[in-house]
Structure 1
Amino acid sequence: MKMLINQSDIRSFNEDGVVILRGVFSEWIETLLKGAERHIENPSERALTHHHEKYKGQFLEDFCNWRAIPEYSDFIFNSSLASTASSLMKSNSVQLFHDHFFYKETNSGVPTPWHQDMPYYCVSGQQTVSFWLPLESREKSVSLKLLAGSHQLNKEIRPTSWASNESFYEDSEAFMDLPDIKEFTTKEWKTEPGDVVAFNFKTIHGANANIANTISRTLSFRLLGDDAVYKQRPGRTSPSFPGINQKNGERLREDWFPTLVSK
């Protein structure tokens, strides 16, 4: 399959921790929309819902459903997702970590606060990538916002519970507070179906609330590269993987996290 990225994209991803790729998954939008509709009708036990007291719409998120939703599996294994990840991360191997679905109803009013993904995960490493793939046109005002270069900070940002803003783990001494976002260049784009924002697990990002009269459906696919390994966190991770039975520094078990590329 022809690659739709270039050396400038790869350089931006590694230097800024984020890059937008235009139209790379356009041919898969119809398939993914079918999967999203299936998902909305039958969310998993992992699903979380968020509400804002001033707005009626809900914000639903769900994790790790690629085995249950054939359209997601089809995309993961048969699109250029893995080869694109390999090029961006400069990695010989690509391993699936998980899929993540976001559904914001009209006037949900729930923003996504500034955060890094990595501190919530049971992994560590620099070769990581999340693909943020909106399934409908998205104005810049309700698109993802990312801080360029924030993936190069010396410590991870303290994770919090979004509902209470309290520390996600009881022991949070290993983390730093959120830096002044004005010190970074904010990257945000208007997007069309088929566009994807690719970013490092350590890149600080967030999103405004959806207060428009339109729904918002987004899929994210989290992938791991050569240096990504298991990391024991000081508490339950998000998503959690009960019974994973791994030690620090081990490659994630392939029966749960399949290898998509191995050169």
Structure 2
Amino acid sequence: MTAALISADEVAAFARDGAVVARGVFRDWIGTIAAGIEHNLREPGPYAADSVSADQPGRFFDDYCNWQRLPDIEQVVRASPAAQLAAQAMRSTTAQFFHDHVLIKEPGTQKPTPWHQDAPYYFVEGTQTVSLWIPVEPVREATLRLIAGSHLWPKPVLPVRWATDAAFYAEPGDYLPVPDPDTQPEHTVLEWELEPGDAVLFDFRTVHGARGNPGADRRRVLSLRFVGDDARFVERPGRTSPPFPDHGMKPGERLRSDWFPILFG
């Protein structure tokens, strides 16, 4: 029997709200995660981006799909409890790794992370998906914020580009407008103060964002994304993010396991 990393009540909350917090699961992995993040910052990959312009304070750096060239990140992906935790949260017999994402907000950064869902950017759909958002430092004001139940909305939210807020795809498609839960009281926002070792788990379809980082400490996060049994490749109206060029998959197929390894089950 595999030990439970989150309780039955927490799994139920994840299914109901689209997000839950798991306390202390990565406590023993913080040093490894921090080393991998710093390696990524020193040697950015081809998808690295800064979402704060030169005339704005602070820095918001993010990069993804680097786990195979960064040994510390690969160790976390393959050897930490991440895949097992993902499978348990998704109620899936398998956990297939999709991609890694490093997000750094330096002190004094005012720019927020815009409200968005991950799913419309991705070429995968399913009810069994999960992102693990793992901070290295204690997080207060700059914590992740999520709209409870938004993973069950009938349509996806318009995907936008973080640096400009422009629509991500040339074809606008049939999307809901980007919400503003701070002015729309019908939305319930979930957010938690976090310690190193905690992780926020959320469905790819859950609408989320984050404030800037007004404090004196950095906010470094490693996010790991997994899919479960029912996830399938789907075509989008343009280049997805991440793009994974020349993958060769067809609609309705499971993600190819030589590119996206099954790490649990």
Please classify the TM superposition score into its range, dividing by the shorter chain length: over 0.9
Looking at structure 2, the residues matched to 224 and 107 of structure 1 have their Cα atoms a distance apart, in angstroms, of 34
- Aligned to 2:224, the other structure's residue is in SS state strand
- Give, in angstroms, the shift of residue 3 of structure 1: 3.1
Between 99-108 and 6-15, the greater mean CA deviation after superposition: 99-108
User: Which residue of structure 1 aligns with residue 164 of structure 2?
Assistant: 164
> What are the residue-to-residue correspondences of 1:124-203 with 2, within 5 Å?
124-139=125-140, 141-179=141-179, 181=181, 182-203=185-206
Q: How many residues align?
A: 261
User: Which residue of structure 2 aligns with residue 257 of structure 1?
Assistant: 260
- Aligned to 2:51, the other structure's residue is in SS state strand
- Give, in angstroms, the shift of residue 167 of structure 1: 1.3
User: Which residue of structure 1 aligns with residue 81 of structure 2?
Assistant: 80
- Give, in angstroms, the shift of residue 162 of structure 1: 2.1
Q: Is it true that 1:221 corresponds to 2:228 in the alignment? A: no
Q: What TM-score do you get using the length of structure 1 for normalisation?
A: 0.95
User: Which residue of structure 1 aligns with residue 58 of structure 2?
Assistant: 57
Looking at structure 2, the residues matched to 240 and 210 of structure 1 have their Cα atoms a distance apart, in angstroms, of 29
Looking at structure 2, the residues matched to 231 and 48 of structure 1 have their Cα atoms a distance apart, in angstroms, of 25
Question: Structure 2: which amino acid aligns with 1:221?
Answer: L
Looking at structure 2, the residues matched to 180 and 28 of structure 1 have their Cα atoms a distance apart, in angstroms, of 35
Residues 201-229 of structure 1 deviation map (CA, whole Å, 9 limit, x = unaligned): 00000000112222111010000001111
Looking at structure 1, the residues matched to 148 and 205 of structure 2 have their Cα atoms a distance apart, in angstroms, of 11
Looking at structure 2, the residues matched to 115 and 4 of structure 1 have their Cα atoms a distance apart, in angstroms, of 28
Contact 1:52 1:108 in 2 (8 A): no
Looking at structure 2, the residues matched to 11 and 144 of structure 1 have their Cα atoms a distance apart, in angstroms, of 20
- Aligned to 1:51, the other structure's residue is in SS state coil
Question: Structure 2: which amino acid aligns with 1:234?
Answer: P
User: Which residue of structure 2 aligns with residue 32 of structure 1?
Assistant: 33
Question: Structure 2: which amino acid aligns with 1:101?
Answer: V
Looking at structure 1, the residues matched to 73 and 180 of structure 2 have their Cα atoms a distance apart, in angstroms, of 37
Looking at structure 1, the residues matched to 142 and 38 of structure 2 have their Cα atoms a distance apart, in angstroms, of 21
RMSD over aligned Cα atoms: 1.4
Question: Structure 2: which amino acid aligns with 1:62?
Answer: D
Question: Structure 1: which amino acid aligns with 2:115?
Answer: W
Unaligned runs of 5+ in 2: none
- Give, in angstroms, the shift of residue 245 of structure 1: 1.6
Contact 2:14 2:20 in 1 (8 A): yes
Question: Structure 1: which amino acid aligns with 2:24?
Answer: G
Contact 2:78 2:263 in 1 (8 A): yes
User: Which residue of structure 1 aligns with residue 241 of structure 2?
Assistant: 238
User: Which residue of structure 1 aligns with residue 123 of structure 2?
Assistant: 122
- Give, in angstroms, the shift of residue 54 of structure 1: 5.2
